[in-house]
């Protein structure tokens, strides 16, 4: 926030002194721009990130309105940026919990207001502590109806400690029963290197809020709630790794991070972390993080923990699930039992990508109490736990699908089996080689993953060559259909599975006396018709159908020609059909939703994949020694 205000002052100064300015504006229109200020010969250039905001000055107020519109039973006091539990006047003889801090960490803290967690939250400006008078307002509102006491849960940042401290002291002067817990569970900075401020408060604060909130809801006295909160604090540790820096709306990112690096020990206010290390796999990064956390908590074999995996804000849900997978499996491999696992966007850092891992060490003495509090119901809308968070016994994980493909249909001689295998092997190797180009063709008008998807199919087929029953082509295509469905998934997996399945069905009743050219012409036509029937695409729609149509038409028209002539004609026609997709308007698949012509100037990726395979297969057949 302070940086944004400074940037605006720079803009105003440039205008005041009549300096040249390019693509700049004041207040809300300043965001999402490139700023360039020139005072010859010095140039200052910065790039701001895209943000969906109206005015930076109204961002916190509006996002809290968004929360209150979504959960309208929460009471939102706009002037103080305070969110309160509903029906405070009915809350009697129960300790209340207040927490808060700067904004930019949503849904923390307002998203955790509700029965069983916070009674009130107080929000400051972006990355700035809330003013003490706003905190005092929350205290006064709560104490109006109940004098059972208030536990203030304060993240350990200087601004938060000062402003909450002022409000706490004023409340004590007024005779209120109020105590605090300063949360500082970050374990990324070695003790000997810590400054006066000490350790930061991170996502471990949620364990304190949940457990203390459950005790308060059960009517425990303030001293008991505070004592348990302190005990929880002594048994939690958090470590963070960031993949990208964040940016306040209208500003560039707060620090530079190379593409091949991650920030270790990163905080939640956009500041750089303890250090950097090279980008590694999820498993390796999780191992690094767990080592630090386990050392901080002195975790040993046969210990038990609860886990929070927090998303900084911009990490995909796919990646977050992988991190959770790695955390749980690695803990189990150390014989440390994760009794509860929570995951989600809980305490974010604007648009930064990264994760916090928090562990709560659960000893036998406190096990029942901690788990009971964690499992206790809460109305807080953003707590990630639910009834499904409690594990059940005898959960079964099936690692693989076992299929047995029977031999069926026509049987071919050894020579044709060799030819069949060579064709299949050559096509797969060609698809693997063209992975990057296929992805590029698919980018902009699709998922950008055609090459990667076909590579998975090709690799699995190559690994399966030794067990495919080449003596029975129908059985081979049945197995290819299974592989396509398992490895490719989605629409492409369904299309290839359907195509191979139809070919397998067509090959069952054939007789060798029909002649192999006519058998393949009839079989490929059957597969083609099946794709058009269920996939809805037809020639001219800019898809793999265009290339397959050329194969079928050419083969059927060339049956009386020599095998080399047929092979060359089929290859040429397929590439011509592929090239013609450049000029077609897509009518099927995701490309049909794309209306920007710059993404539709290359050939269709699906048609190109068919052409690659046909090119290789026709060369293998033409050069095979019968």
Residue 3's H or E segment, with its range, is helix 2-16
Which residues belong to the active site? 269
Residue entry with tokens 């305490």: 347
Q: What is the biggest distance separating any 2 CA atoms in the chain, rounded to whole angstroms? A: 104
Banded model confidence at residue 446, pLDDT cuts 50, 70, 90: low
Find how far residue 431's CA is from the centre of its chain: 28
Banded model confidence at residue 601, pLDDT cuts 50, 70, 90: low
β pairing state of 275-278 and 304-311: unpaired
User: CA-to-CA distance for 118 and 85, rounded, in angstroms?
Assistant: 8
Residue 476's H or E segment, with its range, is helix 473-487
> Which one-letter DSSP state was computed for residue 197?
T
Q: What is the mean pLDDT of residues 80-101?
A: 95
Other Cβ atoms within 10 Å of 258 Cβ, number: 9
The pLDDT value given to residue 573: 97
Q: Are 204 and 238 in contact (CB under 8 A)?
A: yes
The pLDDT value given to residue 249: 87
Q: What is the mean pLDDT of residues 487-506?
A: 91
Residue 16 has pLDDT above 80, yes or no: no
The pLDDT value given to residue 192: 84
Length of the chain: 626
Residue 40 has pLDDT above 70, yes or no: no
Banded model confidence at residue 583, pLDDT cuts 50, 70, 90: confident
Which are the contacts of 360, defined by CB distance < 8 A and separation ≥ 6? Answer: 204, 207, 232, 235, 236, 305, 306, 307, 308, 370
Residue 405 has pLDDT above 80, yes or no: no
- Of 70-74, 92-96, 376-380, 402-406, where does mean pLDDT reach its minimum? 402-406
Average pLDDT value over all residues in the chain: 88
Burial of 6-28, coded b for 16+ CB within 10 Å and e otherwise, reads ebbeebeebeeeeeeeeebeeeb
Residue entry with tokens 């360039």: 36
Tell me what percent of the residues of the chain surpass a pLDDT of 70: 87
User: CA-to-CA distance for 447 and 438, rounded, in angstroms?
Assistant: 11
Banded model confidence at residue 482, pLDDT cuts 50, 70, 90: very high
Banded model confidence at residue 45, pLDDT cuts 50, 70, 90: very low
Taking CA 125 as the corner, what is the angle to CA 122 and CA 131, rounded to the nearest 5 degrees?
Answer: 55
The pLDDT value given to residue 226: 98
Residues linked to residue 626 through DSSP beta bridges, in sequence order: none
The pLDDT value given to residue 395: 61
User: CA-to-CA distance for 361 and 367, rounded, in angstroms?
Assistant: 9
Tell me what percent of the residues of the chain surpass a pLDDT of 90: 72
**What pTM, to 2 d.p., does this model score?**
0.75
Question: In degrees to the nearest 10, what's the CA dihedral of 96, 101, 104, 105?
Answer: -50
């Amino acid at each position: 926030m302070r940086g944004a205000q400074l940037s605006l002052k720079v803009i105003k100064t440039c205008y005041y002194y009549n300096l040249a300015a390019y693509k700049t504006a004041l207040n809300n229109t300043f965001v999402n721009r490139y700023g360039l200020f020139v005072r010859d010969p010095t140039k200052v250039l910065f790039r701001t990130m895209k943000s969906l905001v109206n005015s930076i000055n109204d961002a916190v107020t509006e996002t809290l309105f968004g929360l209150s519109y979504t959960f309208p039973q929460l009471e939102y006091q706009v002037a103080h940026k305070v969110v309160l539990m509903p029906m405070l006047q009915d809350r009697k003889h129960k300790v209340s919990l207040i927490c808060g801090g700067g904004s930019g960490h949503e849904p923390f803290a307002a998203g955790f207001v509700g029965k069983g967690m916070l009674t009130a939250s107080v929000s400051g400006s972006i990355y700035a502590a809330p003013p003490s008078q706003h905190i005092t307002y929350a205290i006064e509102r709560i104490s109006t109806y109940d004098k059972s006491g208030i536990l203030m849960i304060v993240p350990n940042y200087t601004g938060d400690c000062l402003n909450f401290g002022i409000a706490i002291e004023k409340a004590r002067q007024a005779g209120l029963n109020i105590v605090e817990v300063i949360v500082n569970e970050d374990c990324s900075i070695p003790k000997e290197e810590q400054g006066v401020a000490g350790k930061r408060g991170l996502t471990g604060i949620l364990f304190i809020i949940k457990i203390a909130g459950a005790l308060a809801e059960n009517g425990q006295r303030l001293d008991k709630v505070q004592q348990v909160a302190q005990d929880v604090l002594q048994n939690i540790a958090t470590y963070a790794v960031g993949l990208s820096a964040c940016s306040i709306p209208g500003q560039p990112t707060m620090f530079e991070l190379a593409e091949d690096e991650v920030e270790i020990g990163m905080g939640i206010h956009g500041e750089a972390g303890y250090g950097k290390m090279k980008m590694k796999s999820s498993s390796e990064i999780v191992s690094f993080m767990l080592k630090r956390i386990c050392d901080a908590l002195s975790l040993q074999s046969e210990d038990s923990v609860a886990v929070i995996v927090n998303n900084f804000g911009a990490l995909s849900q796919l990646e977050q699930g992988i991190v959770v997978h790695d955390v749980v499996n690695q803990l189990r491999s150390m014989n440390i039992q994760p009794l509860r696992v929570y995951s989600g966007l809980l305490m974010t850092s604007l648009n930064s990508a990264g994760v916090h891992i928090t562990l709560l060490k659960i000893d036998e003495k406190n096990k029942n109490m901690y788990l009971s509090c964690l499992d206790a119901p809460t109305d807080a809308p953003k707590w990630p736990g639910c009834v499904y968070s409690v594990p059940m016994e005898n959960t079964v994980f099936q690692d693989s699908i076992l299929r047995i493909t029977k031999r069926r249909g026509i049987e071919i001689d050894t020579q044709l089996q060799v030819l069949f295998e060579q064709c299949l092997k050559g096509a797969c190797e060609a698809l693997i080689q063209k992975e990057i180009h296929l992805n590029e063709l698919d980018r902009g008008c699709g998922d950008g993953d055609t090459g990667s998807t076909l590579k998975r199919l090709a690799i699995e087929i190559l690994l399966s060559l030794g067990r495919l029953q080449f003596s029975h082509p129908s059985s081979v295509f049945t197995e290819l259909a299974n592989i396509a469905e398992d490895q490719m998934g989605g629409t492409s997996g369904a299309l290839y599975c359907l195509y191979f399945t139809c070919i397998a069905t067509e090959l069952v009743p054939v007789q060798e006396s029909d002649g192999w050219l006519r058998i393949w012409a009839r079989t490929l036509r059957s597969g083609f018709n099946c794709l058009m029937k269920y996939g809805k695409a037809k020639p001219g729609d800019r898809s793999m159908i265009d290339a397959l149509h050329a194969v079928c038409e050419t083969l059927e028209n060339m049956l009386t020609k020599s095998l080399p002539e047929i092979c060359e004609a089929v290859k040429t026609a397929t590439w011509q059909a592929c090239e013609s997709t450049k000029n077609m308007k897509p009518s099927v698949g995701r490309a049909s939703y794309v209306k920007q012509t710059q993404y539709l100037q290359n050939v269709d990726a699906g048609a190109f994949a068919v052409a690659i395979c046909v090119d290789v297969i026709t060369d293998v057949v033409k050069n095979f020694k019968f």
